[in-house]
Amino acid sequence: MDERLAGAGRWVVKIGSALLTNDGAGLNIEGIADWAEQIATLQEQGRDVVVVSSGAVAAGMSRLGWRRRPHAIPELQAAAAVGQMRLINAYERFFQSHGLHSAQILLTHEDLTDRRRYLNARSTLRTLLAHRAIPVVNENDTVATTEIRFGDNDTLAALVANLVEADALLILTDQEGLFDKNPSVHDDATLIAEADATDPMLLEYAGEAASELSQGGMRTKILAARKAARSGTHTIIANGREENLILRVAAGEHLGTRLRASRPPVAARKQWIGSHLKQKGKLWLDAGAAHALRREGRSLLPVGVVKVEGAFRRGDLVGCVAPDGGMVALGLVNYNSDDARRIIGKGSEQIEAILGYVNEEEMIHRDNLSLV
């Protein structure tokens, strides 16, 4: 029995495309009914639940008679538009049968990179939970373009877990969990029952997506667990076809792979910086600056930067890279790339003489830095 999960009050449950569409055969109505019933029971226990649902594109493909997932954005958007109607109707019907209200929330990456829209999304989700409604979240595939897509709903689920500061993220998939080898190829593959979400070995074990229906795979689930851990959220990857899987995991039963959030939660603003913004460039640091950021929680000064990479504006997100190439932090930069190149390696007191103005004495203030 895992007391941490048995006592978890706020859950994000992500349901994958293969489960929702019976591996592409059509919308899994019986499965949705069963998951809705289990989630209704969690609500009766006084727990909050947010559902992150894949399946719109796959359901639309089935409805339109398409056997292969299209690559063209307009075709994906058309499939999503058709499938989303069927999907949300099923959730509404089954939650309503248990006396629960449900709400559709469609997001793009752009919604979460804009600070105001990010805060609005957070407020909406928390208000719905306060009114005991079940938010059903999906990527807004009908309008998302390549540049603003999350890429997979595992990532979306992790960011939603950050938004609502969930205690646990349960990723329902068609696999038993993470194995140390591919179990379909190696008979001696062993299930990883529990690990730290930040353990670098996990990515060594993870493979790519096993199905054309899914954009994710075990690798995206590991990366999602890392993101979720930033808000102190534990992640469980388990087989959604197991009987009463949601309730059993919520009761503390050890099923699937448990990825622990072992570090203290990161402040909400730094979660947003580290998880929601697209990187526009890089600042290469000397060893002293890398140490000051990692170990001392200091701001990044121009004197500690040795090279500027990329083109960016003031306020854009840039990566801070150690001499060995490892990413140290992500942060909102105080100077555009042209001006940054002119002041790197210089003392802060020289900025005005070089540029003719001073925004800040720091290249990146520590309040705008999120360690990786």
More confident site: 270 or 333: 333
Domain boundary among 220, 239, 270: 270
- The pLDDT of 183-205, averaged and rounded, is 87
Both 71 and 202 in one domain: the answer is yes
Please check whether residues 301 and 237 belong to one and the same domain.
Answer: no
Q: What's the CATH code of the domain at 161?
A: 3.40.1160.10
Do 224 and 245 fall within a single domain? Answer: yes
Q: What is the pLDDT of residues 206-217, one digit of tens each?
A: 765 444 444 447
Asked if residue 289 and residue 167 are part of one domain, the reply reads: no
How far is CA 238 from its chain centroid? Answer: 17
According to the model, what pLDDT value does residue 24 have? 65
Note the pLDDT of residue 208.
53
Burial 206-218 (b: 16+ CB within 10 A, else e): beebbbebbbbbb
Instruction: Select from 234, 222, 163, 160 the least CA-distant residue to 3.
Output: 234
What is the value of pTM for the model shown? 0.79
Q: Which helix (H) or strand (E) holds 249?
A: helix 245-250
Band (147; pLDDT cuts 50, 70, 90): very low
Question: Tell me, what's the pLDDT at 210?
Answer: 47
Residue with tokens 């595939």: 141
Looking at residue 204, its pLDDT comes to 83
303 with 257, same domain: the answer is no
Residue ending a domain, choose from 208, 239, 270: 270
In terms of domains, do 219 and 303 share one? Answer: no
- Whether residues 305 and 351 share a domain: the answer is yes
Tell me the pLDDT tens digit for each residue of 240-297: 999 999 999 999 999 999 999 877 777 777 777 777 667 899 999 999 999 999 888 8
Average pLDDT over residues 224-246: 92
Q: How many domains does the chain have?
A: 2
Q: Express as a percent the part of the chain with pLDDT over 90.
A: 50
The mean pLDDT of the chain is 87
**pLDDT computed for residue 215 by the predictor:** 46
Assess whether pLDDT exceeds 60 at residue 25.
yes
- At residue 207, the pLDDT reads 62
Structural domain ending residue among the three candidates 270, 298, 330: 270
Are 26 and 93 part of one and the same domain?
A: yes
- 235 and 105: one domain? yes
Q: For 58-62, 109-113, 155-159, 274-278, which range has the lowest pLDDT when averaged over its residues?
A: 274-278
Q: Containing domain of residue 234, as a range?
A: 3-270
Q: What angle do CA 16, 19, 24 make, to 5 degrees?
A: 105
Nearest Cα neighbor of 169 from 243, 100, 261 is 261
Query: Which contacts of 342-346 are long-range, i.e. CB under 8 A and separated by 24 or more positions?
Result: 343/302, 344/283, 344/302, 344/305, 344/306, 344/307, 344/308, 345/302, 345/303, 345/305, 345/306, 346/302, 346/303
Tokens of 179: 């194995």
3-state secondary structure of 282: strand
Q: Is residue 54 predicted with pLDDT exceeding 90?
A: no
210 and 108 assigned to the same domain: yes
Q: Answer yes or no: is pLDDT of 102 > 60.
A: yes
Question: DSSP alpha helices (H): ranges in 45-152?
Answer: 56-64, 73-96, 109-113, 115-130
> Is residue 1 very low, low, confident or very high in pLDDT (cuts 50, 70, 90)?
low
Same domain? 119 vs 64: yes
Same domain, 312 and 330: yes
At 182 the pLDDT is 80
Q: With cut-offs at 50, 70 and 90, classify the pLDDT of residue 237.
A: very high
CA atoms within 13 A on the CB side of 71: 0
Residue 322 in this model has a pLDDT that exceeds 80? yes
CATH number at residue 293: 2.30.130.10
